Amino acid sequence: MSEATATAAKPEMVTFTIDGKTVTAPRGESVLKVAGDNGIRIPHLCYHDAVEPYGACRLCLVEVTSTSHGRKRTKISTSCNHPALDGIEVVTQSKRIRRNRRMVLELLMGRVPNSPQLQALAAEYGLAEEEVRFKKSERECILCGLCVQVCRDLVGVDALGFVGRGVNKEARAPFGEPSKECIGCGACVIACPVDCIKMEESATRRRIVRWDRELPMKICDECGYPFMPTFQALHYKKTKGMSLDDFKICPDCRPARQ
């Protein structure tokens, strides 16, 4: 590689402050990620660094002050999709920010009142259940869209999407029917920040409850443990050119074999 190419590949670094602490990061990096990397916690629900920020939950709000033509301007912004830029000043905790986050939590608590994750955040922001002014529903999903994104962008299956509008909007398989595309990998189960996508497993089958998808499991030739849906192995065979022989043994038994 020529010296010029090596230089071009290096990301441009920027310096800015978060809560008065000077930080350095690649230009354009998520402010939320930079904060986390520097030990500064910003509450968030819909951010996952494996997929593009979607900015749905609005919990990661911060104040960002930038200077243009000698004039300072402060705005409230979601930190997950705000780029790291030279010279900005980020404040993650202020009266204004706490007030706004509390309002966001109140809205979320109205929609999903029984989520332990939301209840813990509400307690952190001094929001008691009886203070929630919005009509409570019995829903479990906060519509963060992480399951949709992870399935589409990370797993490459695209089994889920949003249906409906307004208060009736939901993340689910197309036409509200049991998903035929879902490979049962469980990535959505892990990604869901409020644990509303449950997975049940028996000795031979796995069920992703929310999508009503039940699939037979591959059993490890070595230990007899069910370790992945057969449909998932077929998906890898089709999309990654792998052989079904690659999936005869579970990951736990593989190192012992090598």
> Residue numbers of the site for ligand FES (CB under 6 A)?
44-47, 55-60, 78, 80
Q: Where are the alpha helices (DSSP H) in 125-258?
A: 146-149, 187-191, 230-240, 254-257
Residue nearest to ligand FES (CB): 80
Q: How far is the CB of 140 from ligand FES (least distance, A)?
A: 17
Q: Least distance from C-beta 81 to ligand FES, angstroms?
A: 7
Tell me whether residue 46 or residue 220 sits nearer to ligand FES (CB atom): 46
Nearer to ligand FES, 78 or 179 (CB): 78
Shorter beta-carbon distance to ligand FES: residue 44 or 206: 44
Q: CA-CA distances (angstroms) from residue 60 to 32, 187, 251?
A: 7, 23, 36
> Cα–chain-centroid distance for residue 121?
17
Largest separation between any pair of C-alpha atoms in the chain: 69
Nearest to ligand FES of 103, 242 (CB atom): 103
Instruction: State the minimum distance, in angstroms, from the CB of residue 241 to ligand FES.
Output: 36
Q: How many CB atoms are closer than 10 A to CB 137?
A: 12
Shortest distance, CB of residue 160 to ligand FES, whole angstroms?
18
CA angle 227, 232, 238 (to 5 degrees): 140
**What's the min distance (Å) between Cβ of 136 and ligand FES?**
22
Per DSSP, helices labelled H in the chain are 3-9, 31-37, 95-111, 116-124, 146-149, 187-191, 230-240, 254-257
Q: In whole angstroms, how close is the CB of 161 to ligand FES at the nearest point?
A: 19
The 10 Å Cβ neighbour count of residue 30 is 22
Whose Cβ is closer to ligand FES: residue 147's or residue 182's? 147
Residue closer to ligand FES by CB (options 44, 218) is 44
